[in-house]
Structure 1
Amino acid sequence: MVLFGLIMMGLILIGYIYNIFSRRKTLHAAIPDSYKSLLQDNVRYYQQLDEGDKVRFEDKVTKFLKRTTIEGVHTSVEPLDRVLVAASAIIPIFGFKDWEYFNLTNVILYPDTFDESYQFEGNRRNILGMVGSGPLNGQMALSKNALREGFANTSDKSNTAIHEFVHLLDKADGFVDGLPRNLIEHSYSIPWMKLVHQTIQQMLAGHTDINPYGATNEGEFFAVISEYFFERPDLLAEKHPDLYKMLCKIFQQDPAANHQHPETAF
């Protein structure tokens, strides 16, 4: 009986050690060895940081990859994809010291567009990114092509993955309503929503250069204008200075201060 107990304890110990090494192997695989060079070659936001902020960005990227599962459905997840997903997550929260996405566990990459049922075949595939709700709470789905295009095209105002991570930030208070209560000071809430509604009216009248999808509702407006803020902060500051200033307060960063035009970025 004693011998049996010792054998069982041994098996439990072996299983425990195996799980530790298995987890370490999984975590190591989740963080590409070349992640720094992939950031430098593919993420303009990172390129324009000073050396101290680059180190801080890298640290946030590795922490994100350690705690978030990234999987592919009928597509491979390459090191570049992991780094771009992590960069998309970190860019909106870089102004906050200790922010973590407590409402995210998995990011699922699809080859291209998919539908509301997460099907990637058929004629109703028109979705590039989606934050899950209900039974799929904590899940995010992204088009791999859209993820890469968001960083490859440095002259537009769009980035699908950043859009979805901004939705997660907005959702942190329980509602995707364009008013991230955990980020915006109470005194700015009314001026922000007033500015949002004024801009949506201008968009509906076709008088702005903002993606018209942002006029769908306040939540989509916040995600769309945030894409613009991080992709072309110089242009947003020039064309929509009030929006730019308010977003600087919300995200606690001023990306236009370091921004280089696409033709001069390295």
Structure 2
Amino acid sequence: MFTFFSNWRRQRLLTRFDSERRARWQQNLDALPILDGLSQQEQIRLLELGWCFLHGKRFTPVMDAELTDDHCIDIALMAALPVLNLGLDAYGVFYELLIYPEEFVTDLQFVDANGVEHQSREELSGEAWEQGPVLLSQSKLADSRHWNGYNLVIHELAHKLDMANGGIADGLPALPVPLQSDWLQVFPKAFANHCRQAELALSLPEGSAEANLAWDRLWIDPYGAENQAEFFAVCVEAFFTDPIALNLAYPPLYHLLGQFLGQNPLARAPQWQPLPHLRCQ
């Protein structure tokens, strides 16, 4: 019943997506480098998913953020990319995106390894709430367009993709049954390796040649060492914005993400090779 209603609503929304509006959105798609190389059929599907995403969510500017049509279209197109072959239902149920002009401060609670609860305040550029909205910093959107390993929209929507399986972010999305066994072997192993590399880099004298080399060998965002939920988000982010780096770091994980998401960004990403000394582990 839910799928029937979703499809019915999608078709109603698309009746308003006329040729003039499609041409307007195509201009934004063409100006986003991380969308380069998509086939014509993929572009059509992305435009339609983005249109439905935009009209299925509230885009709410807060703290005097000046939100333009271009901002909204770009966010919607980037949000549609991870679920290009999964559909918007893969994000689960949420209704709102809160757009801040700059980074924002949020209260955090966490429990350490000894079971002690801690509270802190942290400045963030984005956040995805369980059973709640997605928060984005408008000032970071300009950096979220290129093949540079960073995309705030994809990172936060990856959390929603993760949360769609059981309502919590834990690094275990709603995978097809044939992928689940391999995921439970590959993902924790990659996460543990990433944590070891991050810990090594942190343990070395800051600014030393050894520390710089250790950081350079972290092919994806060190923030992924925070927990498995963040590791999943930075891996999805890297999958679409620096797939070569993710594939260099964790080829089996890149392959599994490709099977899950039904995409292979390696085929359309700008090609580069690491320096020889960075291949040595």
TM-score of the superposed pair, with normalisation by structure 2: 0.72
Superposed CA deviations along residues 30-74 of structure 1, whole A, max 9, x for unmatched, are x79722101111x22323101111111111111111111112111
Q: 1:114 to 1:183 in 2, by over 3 A?
A: farther
- Report deviation, 1:210: 2.2
Q: 1:65 to 1:219 in 2, by over 3 A?
A: same
Q: 1:186 to 1:125 in 2, by over 3 A?
A: closer
Q: Which of the two has higher C-alpha Rg?
A: 1
- Report deviation, 1:243: 2.8
C-alpha root-mean-square deviation of aligned residues, in Å?
Answer: 2.6
More strand by share: 2
Aligned to 1:177: 170
Aligned to 2:149: 157
- Larger CA deviation: 53-62 vs 199-208: 199-208
User: 2-side partners of 1:64 and 1:233: how far apart?
Assistant: 25
Aligned to 1:195: 190
Determine which of 93, 102, 113 is the counterpart of 1:103: 93
Q: What is the SS of the residue equivalent to 1:126? A: strand
Superposed CA deviations along residues 202-238 of structure 1, whole A, max 9, x for unmatched, are 2322342322111000001111121111101123223
Q: 1:78 to 1:33 in 2, by over 3 A?
A: farther
Aligned to 1:241: 251
What one-letter code is carried by the residue in structure 2 that aligns with 1:38? N
User: 1-side partners of 2:181 and 2:122: how far apart?
Assistant: 41
Aligned to 1:48: 37
Q: Work out whether residues 203 and 210 of structure 1, in 8 Å CA contact, stay in contact via their aligned partners in 2.
A: no
Q: What is the SS of the residue equivalent to 1:260? A: coil
Aligned to 1:10: none
Q: 1:183 to 1:231 in 2, by over 3 A?
A: farther
Q: Work out whether residues 113 and 125 of structure 1, in 8 Å CA contact, stay in contact via their aligned partners in 2.
A: no
- Report deviation, 1:160: 1.2
Q: Work out whether residues 128 and 156 of structure 2, in 8 Å CA contact, stay in contact via their aligned partners in 1.
A: yes
Superposed CA deviations along residues 69-111 of structure 1, whole A, max 9, x for unmatched, are 1121111211121112112211111131563533220111110
Aligned to 2:270: 260
5+ residue gaps, structure 1: 1-23, 119-123
User: 2-side partners of 1:155 and 1:258: how far apart?
Assistant: 11
Instruction: Work out the percentage of aligned pairs sharing the same amino acid.
Output: 26
Q: What is the SS of the residue equivalent to 2:89? A: coil
Q: Work out whether residues 49 and 87 of structure 2, in 8 Å CA contact, stay in contact via their aligned partners in 1.
A: no
5+ residue gaps, structure 2: 1-12, 109-120, 202-213, 273-281
Determine which of 205, 216, 220 is the counterpart of 1:210: 220
Q: What is the SS of the residue equivalent to 1:52? A: helix
TM-score of the superposed pair, with normalisation by structure 1: 0.75
Q: Work out whether residues 90 and 161 of structure 2, in 8 Å CA contact, stay in contact via their aligned partners in 1.
A: no
User: 4+ runs of 1 displaced by more than 4 Å?
Assistant: none
